[in-house]
Amino acid sequence: MTLHVDDVFAPLDHDHILERLAGGNETEVYWTDDRRYVVKLKYDLGGSRSQALQWAQWMRAVADRYTACLGERHTIPNYFILARGSDGRIYPLTIQPFLPDARPLDALDYRALTPEQRTTIALQLSEILRRAHAFYRATGSMPDLYGRSASSSDERERMKALTQLPQRLWSFLVERTVLRSHNLMLVHNSEPRIVLIDYDPVRRGRFYRLIYFAVRRILLLRDLAALAWLRRGAGVDREGRTRSPTLRASTSSPDPS
Ligand SMILES: Nc1ncnc2c1ncn2[C@@H]1O[C@H](COP(=O)(O)OP(=O)(O)O)[C@@H](O)[C@H]1O
Ligand SMILES: [Mg+2]
């Protein structure tokens, strides 16, 4: 358990100390003490009040669009607030309900699922891909259905180093199919449901976004192949050997720290 103390948590917590739950590509994710909500903080977004307000308004607008894209069944609520950190800078915070009993798709052991469970997951994912594709055709963008995890801010910085570029490209183009997503989580309530938990905008220039989303669109074809693989039986042949090396099984926890 890693505890973080920062005045930025003041609107949500008496002693300004929250436990770190996980980390992604750009965000540190904390738990409220009652375990009902997660608090998402991007340390690089601190600035003046008007800058933070602009970020928050943009993030909210994008989150609304992605929620409309995937529909109520595959999304969760997002709330945005501004708070002053211990360093005096103002940060936009994203608040979401904490999803208990939920696991990122990356943590699923697909070989251990029943045929019915695989079918349910494949059906929901193909609906999500279909909606993302329709949204791309209408708007030129789509939600990030993939994502990565980082055990700490230091690891996140290391992953961004130029020397890591080949590994990042390999991971982006080949390894991280929708079945290995960190941004989609499987929720087990009355019925299994796949939901998007990451609604971040792409914070790059127009030209980068154009290329990025065009590549993402092509990679949807790769994901359709991954779904076909899932429907065929999660890569387990009659002798129990795995057929697909890329779509490996994993039981790792969402936060490796
Ligand atoms: N609402 C949530 N409930 C439970 N776990 C969450 C929630 N939101 C995020 N997480 C965990 O935190 C990780 C990183 O969150 P994410 O928003 O994707 O960060 P980033 O924007 O950096 O990619 C997720 O992969 C997941 O394990
Ligand atoms: Mg993410």
Task: Return the SS3 of 167.
Answer: helix
Q: Is the CB of 200 under 6 A from ligand 1?
A: yes
Percentage of the chain exceeding pLDDT 90:
73
Q: Is the CB of 149 under 6 A from ligand 1?
A: yes
Is residue 246 predicted with pLDDT exceeding 70?
no
Q: Is the CB of 143 under 6 A from ligand 1?
A: no
Look at residue 235 in the predicted model and tell me its pLDDT: 56
Task: Indicate if the alpha-carbon torsion angle 215, 183, 188, 109 is positive or negative.
Answer: positive
β-sheet bridge partners, residue 242? 236
β-sheet bridge partners, residue 19? 3, 31
Continuous segment of H or E residues that includes residue 158: helix 153-159
Look at residue 232 in the predicted model and tell me its pLDDT: 85
β-sheet bridge partners, residue 79? 95
Q: Is the CB of 38 under 6 A from ligand 1?
A: yes
Q: Is 228 exposed, middle or buried (0-12, 13-18, 19+ CB in 10 A)?
A: exposed
Distances (CA, A) of 238 to 156, 229, 235, 246: 40, 15, 10, 19
By C-alpha distance, which of 150, 31, 125 is closest to 73?
125
Is residue 162 predicted with pLDDT exceeding 90?
no
Q: Is 185 exposed, middle or buried (0-12, 13-18, 19+ CB in 10 A)?
A: buried
CA of 164 to the centre of ligand 2 (A): 19
What domains sit in the chain, N to C, each tagged with a CATH number? 3-97 (3.30.200), 102-231 (no CATH)
Atom of ligand 1 nearest to the CA of 148: 23
Q: Distance between CA atoms of 117 and 188, rounded to whole angstroms?
A: 11
- pLDDT tier at 4, thresholds 50, 70, 90: very high
Look at residue 140 in the predicted model and tell me its pLDDT: 96
- Here the tokens at position 11 are 């609107």
User: Mean pLDDT over residues 33-61, rounded?
Assistant: 97
DSSP state letter for 25: S
- pLDDT tens across 99-122, in order? 998 999 999 999 999 999 999 999
Q: Is the CB of 102 under 6 A from ligand 1?
A: yes
Atom of ligand 1 nearest to the CA of 182: 25
CA of 24 to the centre of ligand 1 (A): 6
Query: Ligand 1, from 59, 75, 184, 197: best to mutate by most atoms within 8 Å of Cβ?
Result: 197
Q: Is the CB of 25 under 6 A from ligand 1?
A: yes
Angle at 182 between CA 59 and CA 67, to 5 degrees: 40
Task: Return the SS3 of 218.
Answer: helix
- pLDDT tens across 54-100, in order? 999 999 999 999 999 999 999 999 999 999 999 999 999 999 999 99
Percentage of the chain exceeding pLDDT 70:
91
Continuous segment of H or E residues that includes residue 245: none
Q: Is the CB of 27 under 6 A from ligand 1?
A: yes
Look at residue 237 in the predicted model and tell me its pLDDT: 45
- pLDDT tier at 156, thresholds 50, 70, 90: confident
